[in-house]
Amino acid sequence: MARAMWKGAIQFGLVTIPVKLYVATESAYTIRFNMLHEKDLSRIQMKTWCPVEDEPIARTDTVKGYEYSPGEYVVITDEDLEKVPLKTMRSIEIEQFAKADDEDSANTRFVKQAYYVEPDKIGRKPFYLLRSVLQEEGLTAICKVVIKDREALAALDPFADTMLLTTLHWPDEIRSTKELDLPDEDYDFKAAELAMARQLVSAMTGEFDPADYKDEYHEALMQVIESKIEGHEVKAPEPAEETGKLVDLMAALEASVNAAKASRAGEKPVSVAEAKKAREGKAERPTKPAASKAKRAETEAEAEAAPKRKRKTA
């Protein structure tokens, strides 16, 4: 059975709900490497060293210390940490409720760790009452809690047959997008470009099933490791060709739409070069009606188009 890593209570107004927290995620595909001495491939050892006694010491002989002045320390024990005067030491303090899909609550997107919440038997009724209200109203509970010697901002949300506590970054930990080199100008999109982009999104839209995805890097890395064990040469994949030329946006969109549809049908997708060549070939035959999807989309979109819309990049 899973082992609880935190025990305490959810404080909901004057209601106290005893709960336990369990880490909700784990690394399933971890390949571990050992550090070796390059000369003889012997595994190196990391030792805890005491500079005063000039010898290695055991981890059990160490204590936590806070340097309050240069070279001066005060020892902090686990008992001292338990005495920190904060309500959130053993309780998940709900500070407020917010709309779960509120776009202005950007902080809830910067998550650290997720925990399953398990209510004690005595607290099951109020726990599921809170969960029911959050689910019906589309709300998330914004909380504060101390986990592993640090107070964390967190969000509490209904999940499956329980609730999920997700620790978040504090606002001052989130870097501003102003540090990025983003353009100031607005972009004008042709009606045909918007129509083709919507068609591409539509072709790639479907039900999300996590079981359809797997860690391909883990498998590829294991192939490299097994090849080296067997003494075979490891071949690098062919690098993507860099032409340095701007891509024909409409050709790229058209090829992407065809690739998405072909992927679902199990057919060979059309490349950007093929789509561009097809468009250029049809442009050289003005006597025949345009048959490309891009041209049809352009014609239909321009016939129905409202005034040009401007969209600013994020």
pLDDT tens by residue, 155-184: 999 999 999 999 999 989 988 888 899 888
pLDDT of residue 313: 43
pLDDT of residue 314: 38
Mean pLDDT value across residues 261-275: 65
d(CA 178, CA 184): 11
What's the mean pLDDT when you consider all of the chain?
A: 82
Which positions ≥6 away from 68 have C-beta within 8 Å? 74
d(CA 117, CA 149): 19
Q: For the whole model, what pTM was predicted? A: 0.69
CA distances from 42 to 48, 55, 294 (A): 19, 22, 62
- Domains recognised in the chain with CATH numbers: 6-25+83-173 (2.40.290.10), 177-204+247-314 (no CATH)
d(CA 285, CA 292): 12
Does the pLDDT value for residue 233 go beyond 70?
yes
Model confidence at 273, pLDDT cuts 50, 70, 90, reads low
d(CA 274, CA 248): 12
Mean pLDDT value across residues 102-125: 85
